[in-house]
Structure 1
Amino acid sequence: MRSAASILHIDLDAFYAAVEQRDKPSLRGKPVVVGGIGGRGVVATASYEARVFGVHSAMPSHEARRRCPYAAFLTPRFAAYQETSAQVMGLLRSISPLVEPLSLDEAFVDLEAADPGPVGLATLDPTDPDSLRAFAAALKAAVAEVTGGLTGSVGVASSKLLAKIASDLDKPDGLVVVEPGSETDLLRPMSVGVIPGVGPATSERLRRIGVHTVDELLGVTEDELVRTLGQAHGRALHQMARARDDRAVEPEREAKSVSIEDTYDVDHVDRRLLEGLIERQAVKVTERLRAARLSGRTVTLKVRMHDFSTLTRSSTLRSPTDEPRVIGTTARSLLADLDTSGGVRLLGVGVSGLADWVQEDLFAEEGPAPDDVAEPDSPVPTDLPEVRPPYSPGVDVEHDQHGRGWVWGSGRGVVTVRFESADTGPGRVMSFPLDDPELRSLHRPRR
């Protein structure tokens, strides 16, 4: 571990929901749930007002509706989240060249290389707790300014392990500095689940040997942990329980895979339809690969059946590719080996074995696809249903006469819109026919 508390972790509070409340003034201070809105949807983020009712991420949407029926249930707007995330990451990188994003809403920052000037401070001394608190407070204020009012919880410590734990201790809008020498005392009373890599399965194995807290974990020898959990996991857990974590802040985190998956409101059994949905996902995966200037060798198909059983199948190509035809036909060939007659509720296509180059097959001839990628027997249908309806609650729309707003709800040939933005007060609500030529979604081409 470092001798100074020079690693900072920032976690934006209820990020998706906070962006929605920022952009939709009528929802500020009210329960908001972002995620799948269908009967099989899953909560991505819940505002703190919704969490009071027991709603949390990864909860089925139908359960969230039962617990908090008056919440606003919104479809995710990833473009808005990505734009806001870019503002925060840009601010962090102006402070330190060593920034490691973990997701859109959280990142590590190495303060040893930091310049506090961008947040209005002349100096920063990582050995001085008061200096660290002043810096963290200034950073939180700067984040609120660049994002239009979003809050973030900050933890500062001598390691990534402790910084991430600290950022979660005083949510929302928290600030915790763990002074060097106090790390083990902080960890002792906590559940072993606070340590990265200790999920339900590991927790159950530890419970069987009488371990529930970090303090109890400290009484277990490394040899016993290795016997219980395996060599790599056991040794890592033995070290982290003692607050020993020498992981560096890595500004370029290598992606291990690129994938897309969709959950459907009805079980799909039509084979041609499933192949078409896979083709669509292959195109989306390719777009992400090319945006990151990557290619991959291993194509994986994920299928969740009607009974919630989940199957994955993979095929490794002879060379990396970023071609949608190759990825799509490979994924469809994997589907051919599965019995989907009972219905499919989720499909996913992923590519791993990533490389930053594409190797053409020197022995391939023009024309037919490679032998290990079978073409479908019949053309893929083009009249595929949308995975998400065009006017889902929460999406941005624009009306020629009334300007920009967001979808309040839709059904029975009518769409209801609230016209407001982050810079206005709560706006008026109006309804229009679904086929109104003056109304358009900002997530699809103008009609």
Structure 2
Amino acid sequence: MSSADHEREEEADGLRKVIHVDMDAFYASVEQRDEPSLKGKPVAVGGSSQRGVVAAASYEARKFGVRSAMPSARAIRLCPDLIFRKPRFDVYRQVSDQIRAIFLDYTPHVEPLSLDEAYLDVTADLKGIGSATRIAEEIRRRIKAETGLTASAGVSYNKFLAKLASDQNKPDGLCVIRPGEGAQFVAGLPVRRFHGVGPRGAEKMAQLGIETGADLVARDLAFLRANFGSFAEYLFRAARGVDLRQVRADRPRKSVGGERTFFENIAGADTLRATMDDIVEIVWARIERADTRGRTVTLKLRYADFTTLTRARSLHHFVADKAEFSAIGHALLDDLMPLPQPIRLMGLTLSALERGEEESRPTKDGQLTLL
């Protein structure tokens, strides 16, 4: 980007400078970095068996249509030369911590979304650089130098646009949407690119003649409310490039929990109960670190066909200790057994929280995905 472009990047009155950084094919890229013979080859992280599922795919694999959450059997049919590697989440977390430390050199306002992406508000950056574009370029250079991985970044004046921009020039790309350019940028995008619009939502919009941001902005709020209910206000603002959400490094914690995704579906009472024990151990440790307590325990199961089921139990008192937390989790599970089919995910969460006397900041990795 030229120096003239940098000079044109000025903050408009009342607008923020927001960067969204998204690592490129993060899990698969870490595997290719640590095993150089995999570079340039189609790689999937996940289980390779008939009942396995893809957790992440390299860009070489994506060219064949391989995507995350795809059954491994289908992925192999699409790409017979696909190379599977088992996930190493301890390594991915270590790399994520390295990247997070880089972010914090520039701003304390870092809102992580997952291990591989985060929002940064650099309106007043710690190094006094002044240009969000320069900061994004510097962060990307440092990530490459310090981790050997590439990241894409989007720069704009709100979170919605910054996230759209980070996906625009992937992989290893940068996109800047300056004040005054947001509505025009959004107008040319398919509505499927809007965060929160899934395949079914996009299909419904297509039936209503809405396929792009320009189509969406042409509909008034009354029309959107009639067809999309409470989602209408978001769509109305997004179509105009408007997003009033702040980058919040310390979002109030509503729950503490974690979920474990299996790359081989599991069944059987003994296996399920042993898995519950593992989750209880890790989640209760997080509850203690967060210095919080709660009244509601929620069990989440996702079956092999991707159907998701939740069951919760609320108490009149706070959960007393790990033993009670474990007992409730097991009781919720026992009430559902025998399960109608194997599961690919189990999660346990404590909510209806109240902090202890000593205030505690949320952990950096947000909602933990258990191994």
Q: Which has the higher contact order (CA 8 A, sep 6+)?
A: 2
User: Residue 111 of structure 2 contacts residue 118 of structure 2 at CA under 8 Å; is this kept in 1?
Assistant: yes
Q: Which blocks of at least 5 consecutive residues in structure 2 are unaligned?
A: 1-10, 358-369
* Partner SS, residue 349 of structure 1: strand
Q: Residues 13 and 76 from structure 1, CA distance in 2 versus in 1: closer, same or farther, beyond 3 angstroms?
A: same
By how many angstroms is 1:82 displaced?
0.9
Q: Which blocks of at least 5 consecutive residues in structure 1 are unaligned?
A: 117-122, 127-131, 360-386, 389-447
- Please give the alpha-carbon distance, in whole angstroms, between the structure 1 residues aligned to 2:99 and 2:225: 40
- Please give the alpha-carbon distance, in whole angstroms, between the structure 2 residues aligned to 1:192 and 1:165: 11
Which residue of structure 1 lines up, in the alignment, with residue 169 of structure 2?
170
- Please give the alpha-carbon distance, in whole angstroms, between the structure 1 residues aligned to 2:179 and 2:356: 47
Which residue of structure 1 lines up, in the alignment, with residue 219 of structure 2?
220
By how many angstroms is 1:309 displaced?
4.3
Which residue of structure 1 lines up, in the alignment, with residue 27 of structure 2?
16
1:239 and 2:213 are equivalent in the alignment: no
User: Residue 100 of structure 1 contacts residue 249 of structure 1 at CA under 8 Å; is this kept in 2?
Assistant: yes
Which residue of structure 1 lines up, in the alignment, with residue 281 of structure 2?
283
Q: Residues 168 and 308 from structure 1, CA distance in 2 versus in 1: closer, same or farther, beyond 3 angstroms?
A: closer
- Please give the alpha-carbon distance, in whole angstroms, between the structure 1 residues aligned to 2:75 and 2:46: 11
Matches within 5 A, 1:168-207: 168-207=167-206
Q: CA RMSD in A?
A: 2.6
Cα displacement string for residues 361-387 of structure 1 (whole angstroms, at most 9, x for unaligned residues) = xxxxxxxxxxxxxxxxxxxxxxxxxx9
Which residue of structure 2 lines up, in the alignment, with residue 124 of structure 1?
129
Q: State the AA in 2 paired with 1:314.
A: A
Aligned residues: 347
Which residue of structure 2 lines up, in the alignment, with residue 29 of structure 1?
40
How does the TM-score come out when normalised to structure 2?
Answer: 0.84
By how many angstroms is 1:262 displaced?
4.2
How does the TM-score come out when normalised to structure 1?
Answer: 0.71
Q: Residues 280 and 136 from structure 1, CA distance in 2 versus in 1: closer, same or farther, beyond 3 angstroms?
A: closer
* Partner SS, residue 112 of structure 1: coil
- Please give the alpha-carbon distance, in whole angstroms, between the structure 1 residues aligned to 2:279 and 2:320: 13
* Partner SS, residue 171 of structure 1: coil
User: Residue 267 of structure 1 contacts residue 343 of structure 1 at CA under 8 Å; is this kept in 2?
Assistant: no
> What percent of counterpart residues are identical?
38
Q: Residues 108 and 267 from structure 1, CA distance in 2 versus in 1: closer, same or farther, beyond 3 angstroms?
A: closer
Matches within 5 A, 1:294-333: 294-305=292-303, 309-321=307-319, 323-333=321-331
Which residue of structure 2 lines up, in the alignment, with residue 293 of structure 1?
291
* Partner SS, residue 123 of structure 2: helix
User: Residue 124 of structure 2 contacts residue 130 of structure 2 at CA under 8 Å; is this kept in 1?
Assistant: no
Matches within 5 A, 1:345-364: 345-346=343-344, 348-353=346-351, 355=353, 357=355
User: Residue 47 of structure 2 contacts residue 263 of structure 2 at CA under 8 Å; is this kept in 1?
Assistant: no
Q: Residues 294 and 73 from structure 1, CA distance in 2 versus in 1: closer, same or farther, beyond 3 angstroms?
A: farther
Q: State the AA in 2 paired with 1:139.
A: I
By how many angstroms is 1:242 displaced?
0.7
Deviation >6 Å, runs of 4+: none
User: Which structure is higher in helix share?
Assistant: 2
User: Residue 20 of structure 2 contacts residue 120 of structure 2 at CA under 8 Å; is this kept in 1?
Assistant: yes
By how many angstroms is 1:5 displaced?
6.3
Q: Residues 310 and 220 from structure 1, CA distance in 2 versus in 1: closer, same or farther, beyond 3 angstroms?
A: same
By how many angstroms is 1:2 displaced?
5.5
